[in-house]
Amino acid sequence: MDILRLHFSVKNSLFQDIIPFWIKNGLDKKNGGIFTCLDRKGEIYSYDKSVWMQGRTAYIFYTLCLQYGIDPYWKEMADSCICFLDKYCIDDSDGRMYFTVTAEGKPLRKRRYIFSESFYTIAHARRYSVTGDKSSLEKARNYYNLMLKIYDNPESDPFKITPKFISSTRETKSLAYPMILLNVTYIMAESDKENESEYKDIAKRLIRDIRKFRHEETGLMLENLLSNDEHFFESATGRIVNPGHSIELSWFLADSAVWLEDPNLLLEAEDIFWKAYNFGKDEKYGGILYFKDLFLKPVEAYEHDMKLWWVHTEALTAAIKFYDYTKKDTYLELFDEVYDYSNKNFADTEYGEWFGYLRRDGLPTEPPCKGHTYKGPFHLIRMLSESERILSKLIKKPFNCDNY
């Protein structure tokens, strides 16, 4: 394997393609924030703004500044998004955050989930790490504590909305909650170092909760459980496996294992990764399928056999991180394999960036898009920057924003 070639490709994609694509096409210089609904050429096809993506974009561009040094264009993007969040994306009536807003910041949708709050939290945590502004750390702490409170006691949620399922009939819980909170906890600990021991205790509790979603016989992670921690296989909802989600979880656990100095957790994370990857791999067309049924029965979600950009970036992030943590060549070989598939199928050599959504056979959906309510400058930049960091150690050539 040519590590120099691989590193050059990753570095070039990150700094010459993906980052410039979003700075050029996404930044809203009039209202602040970012537009993420971009077509193949980078033209805006919807002016509504995703609150998730405001937080994710701020987080990722502050992270770039922290990793490579402050670039004024990166900081402008991050500052614009976080200011837009603070000004427009919080519902003053209860402190919860919106899901989508207009270009000008007027509220459109608000959902029961805590994901807008989670991305807002990590954005402010990273801003504190970059700027030293303690008001950002305070905001991050406040929303982190709010999310934990809602997680521990859903009745405490100030946003009163009809539950997804009628709880008197079937009360369920989702893997997504302890999973995202584990990652947020890890990021908070990186910024709020004086409270690291408290974050470690919370992380250990969340890991215990995450383990309850693992199917003992197959080792696969299920997306949903009953509130009493029991499976409900009589419903398709109780049999959903999202391989990409499980793969993302595996590297969340790996990061935590190294942080918590827990070698057994790292082994567990590796096993979750391989079980998910092998279950989701499409042997016929290549790539990784979106959803599968635990027992290989039909899946309700009609997009179940599509190939999504983020699933493949998570496989790449996991592979390169597991290589960094274990030095097992198998992970580097897998990284090269998935990277090759992704460049052949997702990467657009004509207009830049990656297609968001492919059919099972690897062709883009028509008309193709580069951005969406759920797709923006997050998963791909996170993967490329982590990969560049780790690969640069192999060639002993650290990179910074002054020499790209």
Contact 295, 240 (CB under 8 A): no
Residue 280, C-beta contacts closer than 8 angstroms, at least 6 positions apart: 241, 243, 244, 246, 247, 288, 289, 292, 311
Q: pLDDT, tens digit, for every residue of 259-279? A: 999 999 999 999 999 999 999
For the chain, the average pLDDT equals 96
Residue 403: per-residue pLDDT: 53
Task: Report which of 197, 188, 230 is spatially closest to residue 213, judged by C-alpha positions.
Answer: 230
* Residues shown for the chain: 404
d(CA 278, CA 126): 34
Q: What percent of the chain has pLDDT over 70?
A: 98
> Does residue 164 have a pLDDT over 80?
no
Tell me what pLDDT residue 397 has: 65
Average pLDDT for 326-330: 97
Confidence of residue 396 (pLDDT cuts 50, 70, 90): confident
How confident is the model over 147-161, as pLDDT tens digits? 999 999 998 989 877
pLDDT for 401 beyond 70: no
Beta-carbon contacts of residue 357 (< 8 Å; ≥ 6 apart): 306, 307, 308, 309, 364, 365, 368, 369
Q: Where are the domains of the chain?
A: 213-372
Interval 281-307: pLDDT, tens: 999 999 999 999 999 999 999 999 999
How many whole angstroms separate alpha carbon 42 and alpha carbon 134?
A: 36
Q: What is the pLDDT of residues 29-62, one digit of tens each?
A: 999 999 999 999 999 999 999 999 999 999 999 9
Determine the pLDDT at residue 235: 95
pLDDT tens for residues 68-117?
A: 999 999 999 999 999 999 999 999 999 999 999 999 999 999 999 999 99
* CA dist., res. 301 & res. 289, Å (int): 12
| pLDDT digit string, tens, across residues 178-218 | 999 999 999 999 999 999 999 999 999 999 999 999 999 99
Q: Check pLDDT > 60 for residue 404.
A: no
Q: What's the pLDDT at 239?
A: 97
pLDDT of residue 1: 75
pLDDT per position as a tens digit, 356-389:
999 999 999 999 999 999 999 999 999 999 999 9
In the predicted structure, residue 402 carries a pLDDT above the cut 60: no
Which residues have CB under 8 Å from 129's CB, separation 6+?
A: 62, 66, 190, 191
CATH topology of domain 213-372: Glycosyltransferase (1.50.10)
- Residues 6+ away with beta carbon under 8 Å from 236: 293, 297, 298, 299, 300
